[in-house]
């Protein structure tokens, strides 16, 4: 099956034009205007393909940097439960973890928000152009390509409002590079109502009824369902979230990865090593020949690893080793004693035994086994594992919570939550037994059990901060008792690094450069406009 990467396209800039050429032979046609460019199916397809690689998908899933993780990883460091081992250099990681970003506005912009703002609005501009011109191009599949463009426009706006709050809402492409406009910030509620939700509703109706792998790694109606449900849950509209979530569940196309055993054959090691599992609904695709996943395989280790590999009999294929998203030991206490995910070499590891010479490395800290790729490290130097954005486990957990939030605990909600819990249970409890136990919980206790399960299932997929903002609660993980988590009000809570949350910690600074260029932009409270 041909992957979308083989036809990926690089496009022109944010305030110029969106003309493109091939991924491997880039030759931007930046002298053309949009109305003369969008004449062929190749023009449309090329620009849509570009949307898969830049903007929000890049900020969420690009862990290819040598010394830092993705934009999303830095945002999650606000919780204080994660740390970049190289944060002395990547200072925005430190500012996020210590909740001191307000004192270092320009640094936060330089390291993180400038690129996020530019990348997301560049993709929005490309999407706007496709949406405007696709109906005038003679080609097959017009509705599908429009739906893809609207999916990615919604995804980019969703990422922006989560990071910045109110943002300029632009729904027409830049037609003339000499035309200067200064848009003001639009209320996030209006961005949701006018763009994000309608775009995703259109995408659900017009994208293929297929799996991600079965659709040549293009987004499907089920990816749109998941994003739409994510949006509704962010807005607290839990009853509305149920329909798209049950659309995924009732399709019969998805299933949790299963455990062949509780070691290398576990579901979690399958998710680590294998693309296109029935659990995957939407992912960022990587390919050895065109776009490998950079330093993700060596982010499973820490700074002492190069010495270890240099002394091993087989050497290694990477030169830089940094744990850019280290997990605190305290975080392990979200798991009970018999939770498979807390066992070493499932999601995490502290030691590594070389598979050839048997030498063992003690890394002196908790590292990310979920990102380990033996073939890339020891043989090819090119990781190919896709980065999963939405998995079926999230569908089940979100459906369980949405049902409980909107109508209380019932057998259906308990069954969805029990499926995820049963997969990680090492005591042999089956789904029906666990579901029966869950139905005895009160509404709030059940909802909090859904929150805990999200902490346990997605520690390295960076969903914790979104959940904190959505729920207004922060998980205080016990320092001593396994499986014990208390949810307290987010504002005023103490994060995992001992810092207290303020109202101004909910958002990042609007890029100062953008404020200086645009007199109608205002800065987020607590940050400098200069």
Tens of pLDDT, residue by residue over 469-500, are 999 999 999 999 999 999 999 999 999 999 99
Q: 232 pLDDT band (50/70/90 cuts)?
A: very high
The angle, 0 to 180 degrees and rounded to 10, between the axes of the packed helices 411-423 and 443-457 is 30
User: H or E segment at 222?
Assistant: helix 221-234
3-state class (DSSP) for residue 184: coil
> What DSSP designation does 511 have?
P
Closest CA to 254 of 228, 276, 232, 285: 276
How is residue 413 written in tokens? 């909600």
Which pLDDT value is given to residue 13? 35
> What DSSP designation does 88 have?
T
- Model confidence at 18: pLDDT above 80: no
- Model confidence at 4: pLDDT above 70: no
Q: 310 pLDDT band (50/70/90 cuts)?
A: confident
Backbone phi and psi for residue 225, each to the nearest 5 degrees, phi listed first: -55, -45
User: H or E segment at 350?
Assistant: strand 348-353
DSSP 38-68: TTSHHHHHHHHHHHTTSSHHHHHH----SS-
99: alpha, beta or left, given left = phi > 0 and alpha = psi -120 to 50? left
* Helix, strand, coil shares, percent, the chain, to 5: 50, 10, 40
pTM, entire model: 0.94
* Integer-rounded Cα radius of gyration of the chain: 23
Mean per-residue pLDDT for 94-105? 98
Contacts of 506-509 with CB under 8 Å at 24 or more apart are 506/165, 506/469, 507/163, 507/164, 507/165, 508/75, 508/101, 508/108, 508/112, 508/113, 508/163, 508/164, 509/101, 509/105, 509/108, 509/109, 509/113
CA dist., res. 458 & res. 230, Å (int): 15
Closest CA to 418 of 429, 406, 405, 434: 434
Backbone phi and psi for residue 286, each to the nearest 5 degrees, phi listed first: -125, 155
CA dist., res. 65 & res. 289, Å (int): 18
Residues 6+ apart with CB under 8 A from 465: 75, 76, 78, 79
- Model confidence at 263: pLDDT above 70: yes
Report the share of the chain in percent with pLDDT over 90.
83
Mean per-residue pLDDT for 395-403? 98
- Model confidence at 32: pLDDT above 70: no
Which pLDDT value is given to residue 303? 86
Residues 6+ apart with CB under 8 A from 285: 3, 4, 5, 52, 217, 291, 386
> What DSSP designation does 332 have?
G
Which pLDDT value is given to residue 308? 82
CA dist., res. 464 & res. 76, Å (int): 7
For residue range 412-464, list pLDDT tens digits in order: 999 999 999 999 999 999 999 999 999 999 999 999 999 999 999 999 999 99
For residue range 137-194, list pLDDT tens digits in order: 999 999 999 999 999 999 999 999 999 999 999 999 987 655 567 899 999 999 999 9
Task: Give 283's strand partners.
Answer: 388
- Model confidence at 240: pLDDT above 50: yes
Residues 6+ apart with CB under 8 A from 518: 182, 183
How is residue 120 written in tokens? 């997301």
Residue pair 472/466 in contact (Cβ under 8 Å)? The answer is no
For residue range 241-258, list pLDDT tens digits in order: 999 999 999 999 999 999
Name which of 18-22, 44-48, 515-519 the model is least confident about: 18-22
Question: Cα 449 vs. chain centroid, distance in angstroms?
Answer: 22
- Model confidence at 29: pLDDT above 70: no
């Amino acid at each position: 099956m041909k992957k979308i990467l083989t036809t990926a396209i690089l496009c022109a800039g944010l305030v110029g034009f969106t003309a493109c050429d091939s991924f491997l032979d880039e030759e931007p046609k930046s002298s053309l205007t949009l109305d003369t460019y969008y004449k062929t199916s190749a023009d449309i397809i090329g620009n849509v393909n570009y949307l898969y690689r830049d903007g929000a998908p890049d900020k969420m899933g690009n862990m290819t940097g040598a010394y830092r993780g993705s934009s999303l990883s830095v945002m999650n460091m606000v919780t204080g439960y994660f740390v970049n081992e190289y944060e002395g250099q990547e200072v925005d990681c430190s500012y996020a973890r210590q909740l001191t970003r307000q004192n270092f506005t320009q640094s936060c912009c330089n390291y993180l928000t400038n690129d996020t703002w530019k990348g997301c609005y560049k993709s929005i501009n490309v999407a706007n152009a496709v949406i405007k011109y696709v109906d005038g191009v003679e080609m097959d599949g017009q509705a599908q390509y429009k739906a893809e463009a609207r999916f990615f426009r919604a995804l980019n706006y969703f990422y922006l409002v989560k990071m910045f709050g109110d943002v300029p809402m632009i729904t027409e492409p830049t037609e003339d590079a000499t035309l200067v406009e200064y848009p003001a910030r639009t209320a996030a509620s209006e961005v949701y109502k006018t763009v994000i939700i309608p775009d995703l509703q259109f995408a659900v109706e017009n994208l293929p009824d297929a799996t991600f792998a079965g659709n040549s790694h293009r987004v499907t109606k089920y990816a749109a369902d998941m994003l739409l449900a994510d949006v509704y849950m962010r807005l607290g509209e839990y009853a509305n979230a149920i329909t798209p979530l049950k659309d995924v569940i009732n399709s019969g196309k998805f299933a949790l990865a299963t455990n062949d055993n509780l070691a290398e054959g576990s579901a979690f090691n399958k998710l680590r090593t294998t693309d296109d599992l029935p659990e995957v609904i939407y992912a960022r695709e990587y390919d050895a020949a065109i776009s490998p996943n950079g330093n993700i395989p060596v982010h499973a280790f820490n700074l002492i690893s190069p010495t270890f590999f240099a002394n091993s009999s087989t050497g290694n294929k990477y030169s830089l080793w940094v744990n850019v998203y280290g997990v605190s030991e305290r975080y392990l206490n979200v798991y009970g004693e018999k939770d498979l995910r807390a066992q070493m070499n499932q999601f995490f590891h502290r030691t590594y035994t070389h598979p050839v010479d048997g030498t063992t490395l003690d890394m002196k800290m908790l590292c990310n086994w979920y990102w380990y790729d033996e073939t890339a490290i020891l043989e090819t130097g090119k990781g190919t594992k896709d980065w999963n954005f939405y998995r079926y486990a999230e569908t089940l957990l979100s459906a369980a919570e949405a049902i409980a939030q909107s109508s209380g605990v019932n057998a259906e909600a308990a069954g969805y939550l029990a499926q995820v819990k049963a997969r990680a249970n090492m005591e042999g409890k089956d789904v029906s037994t666990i579901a029966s136990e869950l139905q005895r919980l009160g509404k709030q206790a059940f909802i909090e059990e859904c929150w805990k399960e999200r902490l346990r299932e997605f520690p390295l997929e960076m969903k914790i901060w979104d959940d904190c903002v959505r729920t207004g609660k922060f998980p205080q993980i016990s320092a001593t008792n396994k499986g014990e988590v208390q949810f307290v009000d987010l504002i005023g809570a103490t994060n995992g690094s001992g810092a207290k949350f303020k109202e101004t910690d909910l958002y990042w600074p609007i890029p100062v450069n953008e404020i200086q260029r645009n007199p109608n932009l205002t800065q987020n409270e607590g940050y400098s406009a200069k």
